[in-house]
Structure 1
Amino acid sequence: MKDDLRFAIAKKEAWIGVALAIIHFVWWYGFAYGLGKSKVEKYTYIWGLPAWFFYSCILGFIVIVILVILTVKFLFKEVPFEEEGEQ
């Protein structure tokens, strides 16, 4: 099993997934608590939503979806499920 390349690929792709989750959380937290800590009277609005909510939840979701699509398209590899000797 240690020589099986599939496990190395899976481990690399798992770390990429963890990195994407951390990026998403940092994005969300930064905008939600960075812009959202002021008084409600001082909020700016985008499409009727507070700016902190728009940037953290709406735009953040769109950005992370695009990052996931690009990651899967360019960094992930197709890996066969069967072992090399099986047919």
Structure 2
Amino acid sequence: MEQKKLDPRYKVANREALIGVGIAMINFFIWYSFAYGLGSKPVEEYQYIFGLPSWFFYSCVLGFLIITVIVWLVVKFLFSDVPFEEEEQ
């Protein structure tokens, strides 16, 4: 029986998908940690940054900026171009 070779693009796609899932998990961890860590205090004890509660600023504003930089770095240095055309065999 002839064994079909697995297209090498699948290996690249799987690796990049796992990196994407990892980044999403990091994003959720950052958001959850700040939102529920700092946001679980009584409202009277909140500290404010730029008029926003600190838990919101760190989880949503700063977290977004951190994840944006991480995604840019990952796309720039870890992801690779993959041709979509099928190779003739």
Do they superpose with TM above 0.5?
A: yes
Cα 1:44–1:29, aligned 2, differ >3 Å: closer, same or farther? same
Structure 2 stretches lacking a partner, 5+ long:
none
Structure 1 runs of 4+ aligned residues shifted over 4 Å read none
Instruction: Look up the match of 1:20.
Output: 23
- Rounded to whole Å, the distance in 1 between the matches of 2:49 and 2:6 is 53
User: Post-superposition shift, 1:31?
Assistant: 0.1
Residue 44 (structure 1) aligned with residue 47 (structure 2): yes
Give the TM-score normalised by structure 2.
0.92
Structure 1: which 5+ residue stretches go unaligned? none
Which structure: larger Rg?
2
Percent identical across equivalent pairs? 59
Q: Kindly provide the CA deviation profile for residues 23-77 of structure 1, in whole angstroms up to 9, marking residues without a partner as x.
A: 0000000000000000001000000000000000000000001100100000000
Q: How many residues align?
A: 86
Structure 1 residue aligned with 2:14? 11
User: How big is the alpha-carbon RMSD for the aligned residues of Structure 1 and Structure 2?
Assistant: 1.3
TM-score by length of 1: 0.94
Give the whole-Å Cα distance in 2 for the aligned partners of 1:7 and 1:19.
18
